[in-house]
């Protein structure tokens, strides 16, 4: 009997211990999406090499960490609408299917943009022709992904740094009415999808003023606009945290949602004072411009973590008005910042290193929620 009791208590102890270890493991298996699930979506921009892979470490990481995806390039006009009568949906379809399969919030980027523009669109001068292009382009794309793509960047980068309207083929042909037209067409094609205006340097005072004016003018015309996208191509020292905070407050006052749509933080020298993200800029590479070709020094890795921490503290403060935070890429090796604004550098702007290992910034961000909820 005594022997039986000993065996029984040993058995119970083993069960309790296993249970306890399981709980610890569960508790330790944190992720970005789980940590911020009550705050905002956490997204990543994906290119075709990423969503075409199956069963890779990367696919597992994307599904585990993120609950939203953005099309990095394949929905831009040069790829999706290369000629007047030709749409190329191959990669965009796969991107959307990846999102649906994995139950992710899907963001379409971008319908009307002057960069990465199909060459034939650049030639449009006549206003009727431009209206016809916009109708065909926006309706065809939005319709195809109706009920699948949850939100769209309807217009991207319509503003100059001083807040005035950028001179583009669209502005030249239609004047500022092209903005309202784009949003109206998108809303008609899918009344449920959320519609965003997206731009860089959105925390800088002059552009902020221009963006607020733009949104108000659409609202006054009764045009549906659901949100502002602040791209978030930021650096270790810019923009000022106070300006990010102020911008979030002022955009929220418009009664619309805010997304941080393309977050990355460059750690490389920026002697040209480039604070924006104009994809058409390019400068020459040299050793001074590319100081960490092999490894990110600990001191800079720490600075990056601190910067992400400071930014996320502000984002959490404004969580009620922020719908989504999307990183522009998954790991450092895939970031566009290795080639912009200087080609061929080694940058470290994201939360995962080139081997998909979480960096200090990842852990720092997650620890902001320790003990909360």
Smallest gap from residue 31 Cβ to ligand XIL (A): 24
Token pair for 349: 């702007």
d(Cα 200, Cα 282) in Å, to the nearest integer?
17
For residue 110, which of 206, 36, 196 has the smallest C-alpha distance?
A: 196
Among 78, 117, 274, 279, binds ligand XIL (CB under 6 A): 279
Kindly state whether residue 277 participates in binding ligand XIL, applying the rule CB under 6 A: yes
Binding map of ligand XIL across residues 214-253, x = CB under 6 A, - = no contact: -----------------x----------------------
Query: Which one is catalytic: 194, 262, 284, 287?
Result: 262
- Beta strand segments in 52-209, E: 68-71, 105-112, 151-156, 194-199
Cβ atoms within 10 A of the Cβ of 269, count?
A: 13
Please classify residue 12 by burial: count the beta carbons closer than 10 Å to its beta carbon, then call 0-12 exposed, 13-18 middle and 19+ buried: exposed
Query: Which one is catalytic: 157, 176, 188, 287?
Result: 157
Among 39, 72, 226, 264, binds ligand XIL (CB under 6 A): 72
Smallest gap from residue 171 Cβ to ligand XIL (A): 18
Provide the 3-class DSSP secondary structure of residue 253: coil
Among 67, 68, 150, 156, binds ligand XIL (CB under 6 A): 156
Kindly state whether residue 336 participates in binding ligand XIL, applying the rule CB under 6 A: yes
Kindly state whether residue 73 participates in binding ligand XIL, applying the rule CB under 6 A: yes
Smallest gap from residue 106 Cβ to ligand XIL (A): 16
Q: Which is nearer to ligand XIL, 68 or 156 (CB)?
A: 156
Q: Which is nearer to ligand XIL, 57 or 281 (CB)?
A: 281
Sign of CA dihedral 17, 18, 23, 28: positive
Please classify residue 258 by burial: count the beta carbons closer than 10 Å to its beta carbon, then call 0-12 exposed, 13-18 middle and 19+ buried: buried
Smallest gap from residue 335 Cβ to ligand XIL (A): 8
262 counts as catalytic? yes
- Beta strand segments in 113-223, E: 151-156, 194-199
d(Cα 348, Cα 333) in Å, to the nearest integer?
8
Q: Which is nearer to ligand XIL, 65 or 262 (CB)?
A: 262
As annotated, the active-site residues are: 157, 262
**Under the rule (CB under 6 A), what is the footprint of ligand XIL?**
72-73, 156, 231, 262, 277, 279, 336
């Amino acid at each position: 009997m005594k022997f039986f009791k000993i065996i029984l208590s040993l058995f119970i102890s083993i069960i309790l211990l296993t249970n306890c270890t399981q709980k610890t493991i569960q508790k330790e298996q944190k992720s970005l999406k789980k940590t911020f699930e009550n705050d905002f979506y956490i997204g990543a921009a994906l290119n075709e090499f990423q969503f075409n892979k199956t069963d890779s470490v990367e696919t597992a990481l994307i599904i585990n960490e993120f609950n939203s995806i953005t099309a990095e390039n394949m929905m831009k006009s040069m790829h999706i609408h290369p000629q007047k009568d030709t749409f190329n949906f191959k990669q965009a379809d796969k991107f959307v299917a990846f999102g649906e399969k994995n139950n992710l919030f899907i963001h379409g980027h971008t319908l009307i943009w002057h960069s990465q523009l199909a060459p034939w669109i650049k030639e449009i001068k006549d206003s009727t022709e431009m209206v016809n292009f916009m109708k065909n382009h926006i309706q065809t794309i939005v319709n195809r992904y109706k009920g699948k793509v949850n939100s769209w960047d309807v217009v991207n980068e319509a503003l100059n740094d001083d807040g005035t309207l950028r001179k583009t083929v669209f502005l030249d042909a239609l004047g500022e009415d092209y903005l309202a037209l784009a949003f109206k067409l998108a809303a008609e094609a899918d009344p449920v999808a959320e519609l965003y205006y997206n731009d860089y340097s959105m925390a800088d005072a002059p552009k902020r003023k221009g963006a607020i004016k733009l949104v108000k003018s659409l609202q006054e015309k009764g045009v549906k606009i659901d949100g502002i996208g602040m791209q978030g191509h930021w650096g270790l020292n810019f923009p000022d945290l106070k300006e990010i905070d102020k911008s979030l407050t002022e955009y929220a006052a418009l009664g619309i949602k805010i997304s941080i749509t393309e977050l990355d933080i460059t750690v490389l020298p920026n002697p040209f004072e480039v604070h924006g993200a104009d994809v058409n800029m390019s400068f020459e590479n040299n050793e001074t411009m590319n100081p960490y070709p092999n490894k990110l020094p600990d001191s800079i890795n720490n600075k990056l973590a601190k910067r992400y921490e400071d930014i996320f503290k502000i984002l959490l403060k404004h969580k009620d008005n922020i719908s989504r935070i999307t990183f522009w890429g998954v790991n450092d090796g895939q970031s566009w910042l290795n080639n912009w604004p200087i080609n061929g550098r080694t940058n470290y702007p994201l939360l995962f290193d080139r081997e998909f290992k979480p960096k200090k910034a990842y852990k720092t961000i997650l620890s902001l929620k320790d003990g909360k909820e």
